[in-house]
Amino acid sequence: MEYRRLGASGLHVPALSFGAGTFGGRGPLFSAWGDTGADQARRMVDMALDAGVTMFDSADVYSDGESERVLGQALKGRRDRALISTKAGLPTGEGPQDAGTGRARLIAAVEAALTRLGTDHIDLFQLHAFDAGTPVEETVSALDDLVKTGKLRYIGVSNFAGWQLMKSLAAADAHGWTRYAAHQVYYSLVGRDYEWELMPLGHDQGVGAVVWSPLGWGRLTGKIRRGQPLPAGSRLHETAQWGPPVADELLYDVVDVLAALSEETGRTIPQIALNWLLRRPTVASVIIGARNERQLQDNLGAIGWELTTDQVARLDKASGRTAPYPYYPYEVQEGFARLNPPLTPQAR
């Protein structure tokens, strides 16, 4: 396993992390993802740790907290071997203190997560969404206090716009508070919007990307092909409405190239899609999920090898789309591009 520094922080994380969204199986979305119980979760955690996958990601909204409970049970007795990443901020109930990132809400959310996880600290705690109703100073200062108490080791955000992240970092810098080290983002071969603004921001500000849904919400498994109906067993029948939209032709163009590369390399389509992401600038860790041990074993095969420069170029061409304004001039006009050269994988 390769280990990478998380942004500009002192924390080193594995290039692949394990997503516990399949643990618990409560509610319409998460039951479609998976319903892994404590026994199977422990076996999958065993496999992950044996492969060097030491970071495990969850959230308080995953299966109404059951994901965190199952993860805590699966890590019992080897907590010191693992990094726990979790999130809070989205609504967990109808009450006035059941959503958002105000001070009282964050303190309560962290205490509840610690109890469910059966631990005394969280290694990486991320805000699941931006809370427009709470001043960023209140949010960042509350997180700084929780870091100082030792309950949180590192902090980050998820699903922020560029201005939201930059405003928060500016507040932290102005007051000497703990800075965000991570941005948990959607990024895949069929969803490259992260590259337009958030990637350069992360590079400039030392915020590492922790990638969620690297297989495009389950679309890059090799089961969805041009001219064929959606397989009967695909979870997309139940979950597509909650995930990032993907144009059919973009998906088919990317899968066509992935299939060809699979023939050339002997690697599976998911392994190739994951390996492409591992080369991208600012990417610290890619979260892999699995409903069973076979899927986990396949995803673990994404590490330890590299696509060739030509193979990467073919994937780049198939997956690339013209960026919206104000980003596209920097891609297509020489003067703009000269002032802003593209980032390279070495810029991690």
Catalytic positions are 62
In the chain, what is the greatest distance between 2 CA atoms, to the nearest angstrom? 58
Q: Name which of 154, 153, 181 is nearest 168 in CA terms.
A: 181
Q: Is 122 helix (H, G, I), strand (E, B) or coil?
A: strand
- Partnered with residue 55 across adjacent β-strands are 83
Residue 165 · residue 198 · CB < 8 Å: yes
Query: Would you say 235 and 32 are in contact if contact means Cβ atoms under 8 Å apart?
Result: yes
| Residue ranges in 75-135 assigned as alpha helix (H) | 103-117
DSSP lists the bridge partners of residue 211 as 185, 286
C-alpha span between 194 and 189 (Å, rounded): 11
Nearest alpha carbon to residue 86 among 129, 126, 38? 126
